[in-house]
Amino acid sequence: MTYITPKQREELPELEPMLQLVEASMGFLPTSLMTMAHWPELTQAFGVLGATVLNSGELDAGLKQMIAFAVSNVAGCRYCQAHTANSAEKNNVSAEKIQAVFEYESNDLFSDQEKAALRVAVHAGMVPNAVEAEHMSELSKHFSEKQAVEVVAVISLFGFLNRWNDTMATTLESSPKHFAAGQLASLGWVAGKHE
């Protein structure tokens, strides 16, 4: 159970346009966003940042979700792992590929481009950050500078979300929880530590 009671939608008429966009995109309203809504200005700013990072730019949305899934796994955030794996599937990443993300280095399902992005994600998610010059050099072989900025933006966005959701003990919604329980159980995924 989350430590801070999420706001109810009815309490947030000023956020309704944004909430409609989030719900249309995700299929539900994330508990994390509704907890964040105790500070509406933060919710608005985060909504713009999240939409920019995840829904614009040049990178494939499925790749962005695999990057977010990998960095969330390194951080240990079960909430974000469930969300990002579920979103990866919604963005046409196969279940086989989602389950193989942690074996990206040796699995032929992943292109050299995807491996470079996932390598940076995994190393950036470590504390302390373990990204080396060769990781960024390999990334630059497969991505333009703008695209590399997109990769790091996804990693950074989920750095915020991983800490937010683990600190708040955010309760996972039924749709991503059901997906993760079915698709990620073989990888050792279990519901969040606070549920």
Q: Can you give the pLDDT of all 195 residues of the chain as single tens digits?
A: 789 999 999 999 999 999 999 999 899 999 999 999 999 999 999 999 999 999 999 999 999 999 999 999 999 999 999 999 999 999 999 999 999 999 999 999 999 999 999 999 999 999 999 999 999 999 999 999 999 999 999 999 999 999 999 999 999 999 999 888 888 888 777 765 545
Q: Which domains does the chain have, with CATH numbers?
A: 60-187 (1.20.1290.10)
Write the Ramachandran bin of 56: left for phi over 0, alpha for psi from -120 to 50, otherwise beta: beta
Cβ(120)–Cβ(155) under 8 Å? yes
